[in-house]
Amino acid sequence: MDNATRLQYLEAMGIDVWLPGTVTAPKQAPVSDAIADNTLPEPIDSWEALQAEVAPCTLCGLCENRTQTVFGSGNKNADWLIVGEAPGQNEDRQGVPFVGKAGQLLTEILRAIDLDREQVFITNAVKCRPPDNREPKSTEVETCKAYLLRQQALIKPKIILALGHVAAQALLNTDEPIAELRGKIHTLNDTPVVVTYHPAHLLRSSLDKRKAWADLKFAMQIIKNHQR
Ligand code: URA
């Protein structure tokens, strides 16, 4: 896709392309309650060990229907850890997260804040495709969560962006809806977490695209202010 087409696409979504220095933060962001039982695993392991453990995982029933686990992709030293819900059919086939239409939109959203996929790390709350594209069950999310926490521990991102309610609820140990979780700085093991809509939702609901863009700008502002 060339730049002009990309700009048109973003404009149609109500997204202004981000330019350094143009971000306006919400006046004051409430901080959510700390979540007690998300503690990082000890001892901290290696990336290779974690990948080797995830690949043949049979800890939940999702292993029965998957083609392969989808560990995540991008920069393992990224500032941004982006967490979606679960691999879909395309991701299951290719072993890479967010490669379908929702993934295309995610790529464009990242470009709008001057990031490409190789600069961030993208993964999901669960690493295997749920059958028939159903939402992962809470037990599956719980079972897979240790992998996510270990990814966080190894990457040490400056910010975590939760895409959609499954990721947000998994990361924050809550059952609050997106509407309650957006616009706040949550934390997971001292890393700020910002919640926004899942790109698949944005493909269906244009009304929420501007809100998602506000969330991205909010996240940009947090990362700008964040000291490692
Ligand atoms: N939706 C997700 O949540 N994750 C993917 O990897 C693809 C689609």
- Domain ranges in the chain are 46-226
Q: What is the distance in A from the centroid of ligand 1 to the CA of 192?
A: 22
Query: Residue 43: is the preceding peptide bond cis (ω within 30°)?
Result: yes
Arithmetic mean of pLDDT, 61-68: 98
Say how far apart CA 139 and CA 28 lie, in whole Å.
35
Selected residue with higher pLDDT from 160 and 22: 160
pTM here? Answer: 0.84
Residue whose CA is at the smallest distance from ligand 1 atom 7: 98
- Pocket of ligand 1, candidates 66, 73, 83, 91: which has the most ligand atoms within 8 Å of its Cβ, to mutate? 91
Q: Which amino acid is at 128?
A: C
Residue 124 near residue 70, CB atoms below 8 Å? yes
Compute how many other C-beta atoms are within 10 angstroms of the C-beta atom of residue 64.
9
- Pocket of ligand 1, candidates 62, 66, 85: which has the most ligand atoms within 8 Å of its Cβ, to mutate? 85
Q: Which CATH architecture describes the domain 46-226?
A: 3-Layer(aba) Sandwich (3.40)
Q: What is the distance in A from the centroid of ligand 1 to the CA of 64?
A: 19
Selected residue with higher pLDDT from 114 and 28: 114
Q: What is the distance in A from the centroid of ligand 1 to the CA of 187?
A: 22
Selected residue with higher pLDDT from 139 and 30: 139
Residue ranges lining ligand 1, Cβ < 6 Å = 84-88, 91, 97-98, 100, 102-103, 124, 200
Residue 196 near residue 110, CB atoms below 8 Å? no
What are the tens digits of pLDDT across the range 200-221?
999 999 899 999 999 999 999 9
**pLDDT at position 41:** 59
Ligand 1 atom closest to 91 (CA)? 6
19 pLDDT band (50/70/90 cuts)?
very low
**pLDDT at position 29:** 36
Among 15-29, 44-58, 128-142, 210-224, which is the least confidently predicted range?
15-29
30 pLDDT band (50/70/90 cuts)?
very low
**Nearest CA to 197 among 105, 128, 127, 126?**
105
